[in-house]
Amino acid sequence: MAKITIDIRDDLVEEIDHMVDGKKIKNRSHAIEVILSRLLHANKVEKAVILAGGKGTRMRPFTYEMPKPMIPVQGKPLLQHIIELLRKYEIRDIILSTGYMGEKIKEYFGNGSRFGVDLTYIEEKSEMGTAGSLNLMKNLLNGTFLMFNGDVLANIDLHDLIAFHRENNAVATIALTPVRDASRFGVARLKGSKILEFIEKPETTGRSKLINAGIYVLEPEVIGYVPEGKAMMEMDVFPKLAEEGRLYGYPFDGQWFDTGTHEAYERAIKAWKGIK
């Protein structure tokens, strides 16, 4: 590792020192390294995919009238909150994978210019799951990209997530969020930062309660793991990557809500603080 000496303004040193917590950021030099890594690595990720093609059957009757990603939270569709998060981190080239009532998404967002982004639509003729649509867009994905489930709300530092992915030379990185009740989710079993597996219906004590937050950093080679037709990241792709030691988990503490049930949706409406 090379050593360099630089002069930094006192006010910047103060901000750098605020980053040091002794755990995630160990010291001043480490803080500067993290800042540079975020800036350099983040610039290499230009595209994001948002999965917005599901039927959202658990959210009926709302989804009789609109696709689930268009359900409003505090006056905006779920999908708009995700787009605003991406725009905040200067990721403006976004691919939307649509299916059920996809025309309502296109009608609202158009080409994305009104929201400061560039939108491309991929239409699923039949339901493709959380992985299958990647085969429809593989010609559009030639570098590291982000992928979001279209029904999650998250306040996450995407630059830090991307830097973590790069530092580990990962093929796939899953953002992991802590939850009190993990009974509806698979819980990540980790060895260091590597994900070994996801445990369904976990025990109430003795295990990590970090779950898949529905946000990923992926390399294009992940698409080679996706079978044709309907496929699931959780069942068809991630287990293979975990077995090969190429799947990593990035825990984060920012706000996160899944909107998979009416109860979860109500919590999101009441507690979501928005993208800042």
Q: If DSSP states are collapsed to H, E and C, what string results for 182-243? A: CCCCEEEEEECCEEEEEEECCCCCCCCCEEEEEEEEECHHHHHHCCCCCCCHHHHHHHHHHH
Is residue 151 within 8 Å of 78, Cβ to Cβ? yes
Query: Known catalytic residue: 44?
Result: no
How far apart (Å, rounded) are the C-alpha atoms in residues 271 and 267? Answer: 6
Cα distance between the two ends of the chain: 35
How far apart (Å, rounded) are the C-alpha atoms in residues 183 and 254? Answer: 21
Backbone phi, psi, residue 117, to 5°:
-135, 170
Characterize 79-107 residue by residue with b for buried, 16 or more Cβ atoms within 10 angstroms of its Cβ, and e for exposed.
bbbbbebbbebebbbbbbbbbbbbebbee
**Of the residues 44, 201, 270, 273, which is catalytic?**
201
| Residues belonging to the active site | 201
